[in-house]
Amino acid sequence: RIAMSKAHVLAIPYPAQGHVIPLMELSHELVKHGIKITFVNTDFTHNQIMKALGEKDIEGNEIQLVSIPDGLEDGESRNDLGKLTEAMCKVMPKKLEMLIEDVNKSVSNKITCVVADESLGWVLEMAKKMGIPSVAFWPASASLLTLSFSIQKLLEDGTIDGDGTPAKDQIIQLAPMMPAMRTTEFVWTCLGSLTTQKFIFDYMCRNNKAVEVAEWIICNSTYDHEPAAFALAPKILPIGPLAAGNHAGYLAGNFWPEDSTCLNWLDQQPTNSVTYVAFGSFTVFDHNQLQELALGLELSNKPFLWVVRSDVNNGKHHAFLKEFEDRVHPRGKVVIWAPQQKVLTHPSVACFLSHCGWNSTMEGSINGIPFLCWPYFADQFLNETYICDIWKVGLRLDRNSGIITREEVAYKIKQLLHDDTFKARALELKILAMNSVKEGGSSNKNLNNFIDWIKA
């Protein structure tokens, strides 16, 4: 009798913070069900995660962490996504294949399933070639993926040309009840230089094809957040919101060390009073805009917790921020990286001034937090549309004058906090999100079916 080998998933995210965190969360979920996980980062992100870790963060960790090169030199910037993706495609397939072959040498430990970020279509193709069942994991909204799946149709009806360039600046809807999308804000049109945009567009087309070999497409969302998108693309199954367990030994996959002192600071603030300000892992600020934001937070006269990453402008804000912090202490607190999920569950937090990255959007929404929206690029405009126009749990900041002024920041914080209807709707959305992940809820059922499939 041959010993039954345990289900063993190889999980591989796109090497960006907003992709690593949710796949890590999914991996923790799978580990709870007795599934073995080998988690593949690029060497660069792996080193960043290791550097950011406190020792105790990883004590009870059961996820096997491994890494392979991304094809760029050590000192090179990873901020040009076109360049990074291109380098990855050249170097990573061979390395990943070798890694899988190496793991599979141990007969009782073979990889039984590959869970890859949808944006790594080449991994899905490779799994197929190696005879391993694969799953596409989509860490953003289902709407965004349906937009990608609609590229062929957009080409045919002339909305975009063969490079993905919109014929004109217009608002379209992929189907009734879908969020309105502005063609000039299609995800590939707001991802850096023209060359990058074209590269990303072609890459997305390639991924659309590759994902056809995946046995599942799972997505960090819920039917209640995006009914029209899931109706339009029923192959995509929501399993979200994925939320961290936050228990000891929990490896979140942060690229920066978490500053937990802000949790003690939050304990000192009145219930439902604090504006939490964070722009995810990628957005950068020019100095004028950063100053206006700071002065707006000061002008709001309300407590605030603001995340300013160390890489936000090569340290150029340093002197200004130091002086600012001294002035606003203790009403305001600035940290380099917050334990965001813990912050958002804290009763002192009243609203979230956010760049509207999808993870932030889901994390705010599962905690019933209203938003002030400050999108920058990629899918953030689409997420803003969800927040402001569809779920109606937030307000836009007016950027018509080219800069978001301090008066605008202070005014919108007050407007949001003084109108209870935003909070009421945010709490309704929270209940829907909570119901979807609890036993018997729609996301929970999809996740359980998925887990049963992996284990079979």
Q: At what angle do helices 358-366 and 420-437 cross, to 10 degrees?
A: 100
138 lines the binding site for ligand UDP (CB under 6 A) = no
> Cβ closer to ligand UDP: 341 or 367?
341
Task: Give the binding-site size for ligand UDP (rule: CB under 6 A).
Answer: 19
Which x/- pattern over 268-297 shows residues binding ligand UDP (rule: CB under 6 A)? ----------x-xxx---------------
Q: At what angle do helices 81-103 and 194-210 cross, to 10 degrees?
A: 30
- Give the span between the Cα atoms of 222 and 142, in whole angstroms: 9
Sole window of 5-13, 43-51, 163-171, 337-345 interacting with ligand UDP (rule: CB under 6 A)? 337-345
442 lines the binding site for ligand UDP (CB under 6 A) = no
> Cβ closer to ligand UDP: 127 or 147?
147
238 lines the binding site for ligand UDP (CB under 6 A) = no
396: exposed, middle or buried (C-beta count within 10 Å: 0-12, 13-18, 19+)?
Answer: middle
436 lines the binding site for ligand UDP (CB under 6 A) = no
> Cβ closer to ligand UDP: 88 or 154?
88
243 lines the binding site for ligand UDP (CB under 6 A) = no
> Cβ closer to ligand UDP: 78 or 110?
78
> Cβ closer to ligand UDP: 16 or 204?
16
Nearest to 261, CA basis, from 318, 325, 205, 199: 325
Q: Residue 232 CB, nearest distance to ligand UDP (Å)?
A: 22
- Give the span between the Cα atoms of 118 and 121, in whole angstroms: 6
Beta strand spans in 163-244 (E): 171-172, 181-182, 216-219, 236-238
> Cβ closer to ligand UDP: 359 or 385?
359
> Cβ closer to ligand UDP: 285 or 337?
337
The label of the residue with tokens 């105790």 reads: 56
Which amino acid does the sequence have at 174?
L
> Cβ closer to ligand UDP: 378 or 409?
378
360 lines the binding site for ligand UDP (CB under 6 A) = yes
Element housing 229 (H / E): helix 227-232
341 lines the binding site for ligand UDP (CB under 6 A) = yes
Alpha-carbon Rg for the chain, nearest whole angstrom, is 22
- Give the span between the Cα atoms of 71 and 91, in whole angstroms: 5
Sole window of 262-270, 288-296, 351-359, 435-443 interacting with ligand UDP (rule: CB under 6 A)? 351-359
> Cβ closer to ligand UDP: 221 or 254?
254
Q: Residue 387 CB, nearest distance to ligand UDP (Å)?
A: 12
49 lines the binding site for ligand UDP (CB under 6 A) = no
- Give the span between the Cα atoms of 153 and 137, in whole angstroms: 23
**Phi-psi region for residue 21, left (φ > 0), alpha (ψ -120 to 50) or beta?**
alpha
371 lines the binding site for ligand UDP (CB under 6 A) = no
Nearest to 391, CA basis, from 360, 416, 370: 370
> Cβ closer to ligand UDP: 100 or 404?
404
Q: Contacting ligand UDP (CB under 6 A), which of 13, 71, 357, 441?
A: 357
The answer to whether residues 217 and 236 touch, using CB atoms and an 8 Å cutoff, is yes
372 lines the binding site for ligand UDP (CB under 6 A) = no
187 lines the binding site for ligand UDP (CB under 6 A) = no
338 lines the binding site for ligand UDP (CB under 6 A) = yes
> Cβ closer to ligand UDP: 134 or 254?
254
Greatest alpha-carbon span in the chain: 74
141 lines the binding site for ligand UDP (CB under 6 A) = no
367 lines the binding site for ligand UDP (CB under 6 A) = no
337 lines the binding site for ligand UDP (CB under 6 A) = yes
Question: What are the residues whose beta carbons fall under 8 Å from the beta carbon of 400, sequence distance 6 or more?
Answer: none
Element housing 179 (H / E): none
Three-class SS state of 325:
helix
307 lines the binding site for ligand UDP (CB under 6 A) = yes
The answer to whether residues 21 and 28 touch, using CB atoms and an 8 Å cutoff, is no
Q: Residue 36 CB, nearest distance to ligand UDP (Å)?
A: 24
137 lines the binding site for ligand UDP (CB under 6 A) = no
> What tokens appear for 265 in the block?
């600071």
Which x/- pattern over 75-114 shows residues binding ligand UDP (rule: CB under 6 A)? ----------------------------------------
Q: Which of residues 2-31 bind ligand UDP (CB under 6 A)?
A: 16-18, 21
- DSSP of 392-444: --EEEPP-TTSS--HHHHHHHHHHHHH-HHHHHHHHHHHHHHHHHHSTTSHHH
Catalog residues that contact ligand UDP under the rule CB under 6 A.
16-18, 21, 254, 278, 280-282, 307, 337-338, 340-341, 357-360, 363
